[in-house]
Amino acid sequence: MLKHILITDSTLRDGNHAVAHQLNAHQIAVYAEAADKAGVPIVEVGHGNGLGASSMQVGLSLVDDVTMLETARKHLSKSKLGIHVIPGFATIKRDLIRALDIGVDVVRVASHCTEADITQRHLGFVRERGKEAYGVLMMSHMASASVLVEEAQKMELYGAEGIIIMDSAGAYLPSDVEEKITALVNGLKVPVGFHAHNNLGMAIANSMTAIASGAKLLDATARGFGAGAGNAQIEVLIAVLERTGYITGIDFYGILDASDLAEKEVMPVVPTIKSESIVSGLSGVFSGFAKHVTRISKEYGVDQRDVYRELGKRKVVGGQEDIIIEVVMDLVKNRK
Amino acid sequence: MSDAIKHLITEDCKKSCNDISIFSELANQVILVTGGTGFMGKWIAEIVSFLNETENLNISLYLLARDTEKFKDEVPHLAAKQFIKLINQDVRNLHDLPEEVNHIIHAAGTPDNRDHVSQPLRTLETFYKGTNNVLDAATRLPALRKILHVSSHTVYGKNTDEAYIKETYLGTLEVNNVNHIYGESKIVAETLCSIFRNQFKLPITILRPFAFIGPYHDLEKPWAINNFIRDGILGGPIRILGNGSTIRSYLYASDMAVWVLKALVNGQVGDVYNLGSNVPISLNDLATKIQTSINPNIEILSKSSKENYSNVSRLVPETSKTIKALDVQETHTLDDAISRTIVWNQLNKK
C-alpha cells in the first residue's frame, strides 16, 4: 500500500529567517499561488519566528502579520494556510483570534523541546475553533528521546493532531533521527513529523530516515530557503519520495516550477552550506540566529565560528538572541 | 436557563429516577460534595433538586469547591436553590466541615489529564492532602453516616486483556511516567480511605468512575466523545486521533448521579463499586454514531502514529456487582445519551 506523507511548505515562514524577515507581499502572493497550483497541502506563512514575533529582539518584519496572512489567503484556493505560533510571541487575544478570522486553517503551536506546557492554551483554543492544531518541539536535538516523548505526550493531551520535531540547528545525523522518531511513533497516538535543517548536508537524508522510522509529516522549502543553511529542499524531497513510492498529492512539475519561481522572485540568494553554518550545526545553535551572528560578529570583528561554538556551549535557544551580543563582547574582551 | 434546556434536564432526571423509593432514607439529611461545582456535583444537585421537588425529601446540599463564583455564573438556577449552600474552599487547605453533615461525597480533583501532566505535583497534592483533610475533618462530625470516595478507573492501570474490568482487577501503572500521576494519586487517596476506615472506623465506600457523557460535560475536555461531538457541532471533520479500535463505554450524566446517590444509601462500607456503562463501543463506531446524529455528510478523519496496533486499549467496567448491590440500571442508551448531549450543547450555544 502506498504511504501518504503530509507535506508542509515552510518557504514563506522559515524562508523569512533567511532574509531577516523582509519578505514582501508580492513575494508571498506569487509563491503562494505557485505552491497552490502545485497542490502543496499546507503553505506556512509568516515571520520566521511565527505569528506576533516581529520585534527588535528577533527582528522586525517588513510586512505585518495581517498583510502576510491576508495576501496568502487570497492566493490559496486548494492549499491550506498554516502558521507557526510560539506562545509568548503570539497571544490568543491579540494574534491568534485575528489570524483564524483571516482564514488560517492550520496552526502549529511550538515550544522549546522541553517546554510543551506553554502550548496548552493555544492548542486548546485552536481545537475549540475547529481548526487543525499541531504541536512542534523546537531544538529537539537538545533533549533525549524519552524526554521528547514525555513532552510530545503533553501536546497530544492538549489537543495536538500531530507532533513535529524540529532539527532547528541542523545538528542531526540519520541515526539521531531514527532513534527519536521511532521513540515518538511508539509513544504517541497521533502522527509524527520532522522538520529538517541542512547545516550538515543531511536534510533530505534525515527526512527520508524520519519517514522510514514511521513519521507521516514532513516540512520542506523551495530550494531549501530557510534559516541558516536552509531546510530540506522541497523539489528534491518530492522527487525522492516519488522515487521511493510515497505519495504526497503534490504535482512534481508544479513544485519544480514553484521552486524556479521562488529562486527568481523570492530569494536574493539560494541557500548554501556556508562554513559558519557547518560550525553552527556542529555546535547545535538555532539556525534562526545566523543573520544576527553574522551581523554582530562583523560589527565587532570577531570570528563567527568562535561565536557559534560559544553559543553552543551556553546551550542558548530561540528567543535568546540577546545572548549573541554578550558572547561577542566576551570574545572581544578576551582578545584584549 | 431556557425553558427548552430546563425541560431536557427535567426529563433526564425523571427518566433516571424511575425507582427512587430508596431515597426516602436521605430525607432531611445533609450531604456535602467536595468538588461540588464540577460535572458530577452539578448533576447531583439536579437530581437532589428533582427529588426535593417531586418527593419532598428536604435534602440539604453543601457544594464545596475552589471557585463557587463560577458555579453561580454557569448554573444560576441551581445556585439560587435554598437547599444548596456553597463553600468556597480548596480541599488542600480544609480543616473543618459543617457539623450538621451526614453524608460526604468526596469528588474533589479534576479528571482532566491535561492538568495532570502540566501540574503533576498539584495533582498529587490535591488527592493526597485533600483526601487526608476531608477524612480527618470527617472524624469530628457527630452525625456522619457515610462517606463516598469517588476514585477513578485509572487505579486499574493499563488493560489490554480484560473485556470487562472487575473491581478486583490489578493492572500495571508505570510509576516513572508522569502521565500516570492521576492513577498513582488516586491509589494514594484510596489507601488513605483504607487507613481512615480501619484506624478511625470511618464508614467509607469507594466508587471507581469510568467515562460519562451528558449536559454540563465540557466539550473541550480532552476525551474522544467530547471532542467528536464538538467537532461535529462545529461542522466537522470529526477527528479520530490514535487507534480507532480503542474500546470505551459511556454512562449518561443523570444515570451517573442517581447511581452515586444510590451508592450513598446502598453501598457497603469498605466495598468498591465500578461506576460506568458496560456497553462497549469502538471510537470508530462512536464517531459514526455522532456523525449520524448531527449530520451524515460530516467528514470523519483518522489520524494515527501507526498503521497497526499490537494492543487495543479497552476500558469497560464489569458492572454486575454495582447493578445488584446498588440496585441501579442504565436508563439512557448510548444513542439517547449522544443525541441529548448534542441538543443540550446546541441549545446552550444559542
Give the pLDDT score at B180. 87
Residue in chain B closest to A117 (alpha carbons) equals B118
Q: Which residues of chain A neighbour B117 with C-beta distances below 8 Å?
A: 153-154, 157
In a mutagenesis test of the A interface, which of B223, B302, B305 is the best target, namely the one with the most A β-carbons within 10 Å? B305
User: Do B29 and B60 meet the contact criterion of CB atoms below 8 Å apart?
Assistant: yes
Considering only residues B171 and B297, tell me which one the structure prediction assigns the higher pLDDT: B297
CB < 8 Å & 24+ apart, contacts of B23-27? B23/B51, B23/B55, B23/B57, B23/B261, B23/B265, B24/B55, B24/B57, B25/B265, B26/B51, B26/B57, B26/B59, B26/B103, B26/B261, B26/B264, B26/B265, B27/B57, B27/B58, B27/B59
Distance from CA of B253 to the nearest CA of A (A): 22
SS3 state of residue B321 = helix
Return d(Cα B174, Cα B158) in angstroms, integer. Answer: 9
Give the pLDDT score at B344. 96
User: Do A70 and A114 meet the contact criterion of CB atoms below 8 Å apart?
Assistant: no
A295's torsion region: left (phi>0), alpha (psi -120 to 50) or beta?
alpha
Percentage of residues of chain A with pLDDT beyond 70: 99
Q: Place B175 in a pLDDT band, splitting at 50, 70 and 90.
A: confident
Q: Place A321 in a pLDDT band, splitting at 50, 70 and 90.
A: confident
Judge whether residue B20 has pLDDT over 70: yes
Return d(Cα B85, Cα B53) in angstroms, integer. Answer: 17
Judge whether residue B213 has pLDDT over 80: yes
Return d(Cα A109, Cα A93) in angstroms, integer. Answer: 15
Find, among B34, B38, B31, B35, the residue nearest to B212 by Cα: B38
DSSP letter at B146 equals: E
Cell reading at B224: 474522544
Each residue's pLDDT tens digit, B108-118: 999 999 999 99
Each residue's pLDDT tens digit, B132-169: 999 999 999 999 999 999 999 999 988 777 889 999 99
Name which of B220, B227, B305 is nearest A188 (Cβ-Cβ).
B305
Kindly determine whether residue B113 and residue A153, on different chains, have CB atoms separated by under 8 Å: no
For residue A40, count CB atoms less than 10 angstroms from its CB and return exposed for 0-12, middle for 13-18, buried for 19 or more. Answer: buried
Per CB distance under 8 Å, which residues of A are interface residues toward B? 117, 120, 124, 127-130, 150, 153-154, 156-159, 161-162, 184-186, 188-192, 214, 216
Kindly determine whether residue A128 and residue B220, on different chains, have CB atoms separated by under 8 Å: yes
Residue in chain B closest to A119 (alpha carbons) equals B118
Kindly determine whether residue A117 and residue B118, on different chains, have CB atoms separated by under 8 Å: yes
Q: Place A294 in a pLDDT band, splitting at 50, 70 and 90.
A: very high
Residue in chain A closest to B305 (alpha carbons) equals A191
Residue set of the binding site of A: 13-14, 168, 195, 197
Cell reading at A43: 503553505
DSSP letter at B140 equals: T
Question: Same fold for the domain at A3-265 and the one at A275-335?
Answer: no
Return d(Cα B3, Cα A166) in angstroms, integer. Answer: 52
Q: Which amino acid is at B327?
A: D
User: Do A107 and A144 meet the contact criterion of CB atoms below 8 Å apart?
Assistant: no
Kindly determine whether residue B241 and residue A161, on different chains, have CB atoms separated by under 8 Å: yes
Cell reading at B302: 483518522
Phi/psi of residue B205, each to 5°?
Answer: -120, 145
Q: Which residues of chain B neighbour A192 with C-beta distances below 8 Å?
A: 305
CATH class of B3-217+251-278+316-332: alpha beta
Q: Where are the alpha helices (DSSP H) in chain B?
A: 3-16, 39-55, 68-74, 76-79, 113-118, 120-138, 181-199, 224-233, 253-266, 283-294, 320-326, 334-349
Q: Which residues of chain A neighbour B231 with C-beta distances below 8 Å?
A: 130
Size of interface A-B (CB pairs under 8 A): 59
Kindly determine whether residue B305 and residue A184, on different chains, have CB atoms separated by under 8 Å: yes
Residue in chain A closest to B242 (alpha carbons) equals A189
Return d(Cα A268, Cα A274) in angstroms, integer. Answer: 16
Judge whether residue B311 has pLDDT over 70: yes
Q: Is the dihedral of CA B114, B119, B124, B125 positive or negative?
A: negative
Q: Which residues of chain A neighbour B241 with C-beta distances below 8 Å?
A: 156, 161, 189-190
Considering only residues B19 and B274, tell me which one the structure prediction assigns the higher pLDDT: B274
Judge whether residue A285 has pLDDT over 80: yes
Judge whether residue B307 has pLDDT over 90: no
Give catalytic status of residue A17 as yes or no.
yes
Give the pLDDT score at B258. 98
CATH superfamily of A3-265: Aldolase class I (3.20.20.70)
Mean pLDDT over the full length of chain B: 95
**Is B349 in the A-facing interface, judged by CB distances under 8 Å?**
no
The reported pTM is 0.91
Find, among A58, A9, A57, the residue nearest to A32 by Cα: A9
Return d(Cα A211, Cα A6) in angstroms, integer. Answer: 11
> What are the boundaries of each domain within chain A?
3-265, 275-335
Give the pLDDT score at A336. 65
ipTM confidence score: 0.87
Return d(Cα B288, Cα B301) in angstroms, integer. Answer: 11
CA B324 to chain CA centroid, nearest Å: 20
Name which of A117, A158, A189 is nearest B305 (Cβ-Cβ).
A189
> What are the boundaries of each domain within chain B?
3-217+251-278+316-332
Distance from CA of A218 to the nearest CA of B (A): 14
Q: Which amino acid is at B240?
A: I
Secondary structure in 3-state letters for chain A: CCEECEEEEEEECHHHHHCCCCCCHHHHHHHHHHHHHHCCCEEEECCCCCCCCCECCCECCCCCHHHHHHHHHHCCCCCEEEEEECECCECHHHHHHHHHHHCCCEEEEEEECCCHHHHHHHHHHHHHCCCEEEEEEECHHHCCHHHHHHHHHHHHHHCCCCEEEECCCCCCCHHHHHHHHHHHHHHCCCCEEEECECCCCCHHHHHHHHHHCCCCEEEEEHHHCCCCCCECEHHHHHHHHHHCCEECCCCHHHHHHHHHHHHHHCCCCCCCCCHHHHHHHHHCCCHHHHHHHHHHHHHHCCCHHHHHHHHHHCCCCCCCCHHHHHHHHHHHHHHC
- Which of A4, A17, A75, A141 is labelled catalytic? A17
Residue set of the binding site of A for Mn(2+): 14, 195, 197
Find, among B185, B181, B183, the residue nearest to B170 by Cα: B183
Q: Place B350 in a pLDDT band, splitting at 50, 70 and 90.
A: low
Each residue's pLDDT tens digit, B242-253: 999 999 999 999
Return d(Cα B277, Cα B289) in angstroms, integer. Answer: 17
Distance from CA of A215 to the nearest CA of B (A): 8
Name which of B113, B117, B242 is nearest A189 (Cβ-Cβ).
B242
Kindly determine whether residue A158 and residue B304, on different chains, have CB atoms separated by under 8 Å: no
Give the pLDDT score at B174. 80
Judge whether residue B61 has pLDDT over 80: yes
CATH code of A275-335, in short, is 1.10.8.60
